[in-house]
Amino acid sequence: MGMNGVLRPGHAQIRVLDLEEGVKFYRDVLGLLEMGRDKSGRVYFKAWDERDHNSIVIRQADRAGIDFFAFKVANKATLEKLDSDLRAYGVPTERIPAGEMLETGERVRFKIPSGHLIELYAEKTDVGNGLGLLNPEAWNANAEKGIAPIRLDHCLLYGPDIEKNVALFNEVLGFYLVEHVVLEDNKTDLAVWLSTSIKAHDIAFVRHPEPGMLHHISFLLESWERVLRAADLMSMNRVSIDIGPTRHGVTRGTTIYAFDPSGNRFETFCGGYQSYPDHKPIKWTMDEVGRGVFYHDRVLNETFLSVVT
């Protein structure tokens, strides 16, 4: 369905162990813009170049992780059609009323086979990026605080039955498979990267016995120099770095992974290639998976493989 159906990642709700510590991190270190707080205590953020009101929502909880990940769809008619298509496919859906999240319209929520909650929505208040729509400047100098990513880009989720996720995202939501890692049997997928656009991925999954787990939320930067700058800022702020700066073989992005104060992993990256639905998927085998994930080191970091929230 591509740009006529599911448009792009829209928001993620993340659980943090200490709300104000989380606010300080996402606002001051990562450099997201704080957009508001609701009656339930959730805090809303957006990246500076995003036009919609929010993309990251955090709430305090006893356990870190992700509550749900959402995609924006083209319009309300598309939302209704996808809700109907999901139910016809055998996936129960829940309607979340407009206004339950700040500045966000009605959402359709459903659980996918890996145990994650996914949402679809069509409406969110356009607050702009501070540049305007008439003769704008090249970037917003007032938003240059912290790492200052351009946008929420994608997420990587861990859980079982990822082949069923692929079928659901392909057959109902219009995504296509871009890359995958196969196990030693050369048939079963260990990991998959899916796109609803011309990006190398909008969501990815890794096979894992425990359902509903978060590996990372990813934010886009403009250049390799900005990735290096992000690493400097992480060091200055004593952020726990997992791996990088380095390059992926899969998707070819340049990247650094680190943890928020609650242990949720996040990625700041740039680059990668453009993909199209008519491209054949790229396959990686287990004997080369180290190079696929970390192209320079050619070996996997045990923390990267095992730590999820």
How do the pLDDT tens digits run along the chain, 309 residues long?
446 699 999 999 999 999 999 999 999 999 999 999 999 999 999 999 999 999 999 999 999 999 999 999 999 999 999 999 999 999 999 999 999 999 999 999 999 999 999 999 999 999 999 999 999 998 888 778 999 999 999 999 999 999 999 999 999 999 999 999 999 999 999 999 999 999 999 999 999 999 999 999 999 999 999 999 999 999 999 999 998 898 887 888 889 999 999 999 999 999 989 999 999 998 988 887 778 778 777 777 777 877 899
Look up residue 237 and give its two tokens.
């702020």
- 180 a catalytic residue: no
Q: Tell me the whole-structure pTM to 2 decimals.
A: 0.96
Query: Is 165 buried (19+), middle (13-18) or exposed (0-12) by CB count in 10 A?
Result: buried
Which are the contacts of 305, defined by CB distance < 8 A and separation ≥ 6? none
- 44 a catalytic residue: no
Fold of 2-143: 2,3-Dihydroxybiphenyl 1,2-Dioxygenase; domain 1 (3.10.180)
What pLDDT shows up at residue 47? 97
Catalytic pick among 11, 116, 180, 216: 216
CA angle 14, 17, 20 (to 5 degrees): 90
Catalytic pick among 26, 121, 176, 257: 257
What pLDDT shows up at residue 68? 98
Domain limits, CATH 3.10.180.10, in the chain? 2-143, 151-306
What pLDDT shows up at residue 3? 63
Q: CA-to-CA distance for 123 and 110, rounded, in angstroms?
A: 18
Look up residue 257 and give its two tokens.
């992974």
Look up residue 30 and give its two tokens.
């990562």
Q: H/E element holding 80? A: helix 76-88
Q: Is residue 101 helix, strand or coil?
A: coil
What pLDDT shows up at residue 2? 47
Q: Are 168 and 64 in contact (CB under 8 A)?
A: no
Catalytic pick among 53, 180, 201, 208: 201
Q: H/E element holding 235? A: helix 224-236
Q: CA-to-CA distance for 121 and 78, rounded, in angstroms?
A: 9
Q: Distances from the Cα of 243 to the Cαs of 41, 106, 193, 304, in angstroms?
A: 32, 38, 20, 8
Catalytic pick among 50, 106, 179, 267: 267
What pLDDT shows up at residue 152? 98
Q: Are 11 and 107 in contact (CB under 8 A)?
A: no
- 279 a catalytic residue: no
What's 151-306's CATH class? alpha beta
What pLDDT shows up at residue 287? 85
Q: CA-to-CA distance for 188 and 185, rounded, in angstroms?
A: 7
- 257 a catalytic residue: yes
Residue type, 162: I
CA nearest 275: which of 248, 251, 249?
Answer: 251
- 26 a catalytic residue: no
- 89 a catalytic residue: no
Catalytic pick among 154, 180, 208, 215: 154
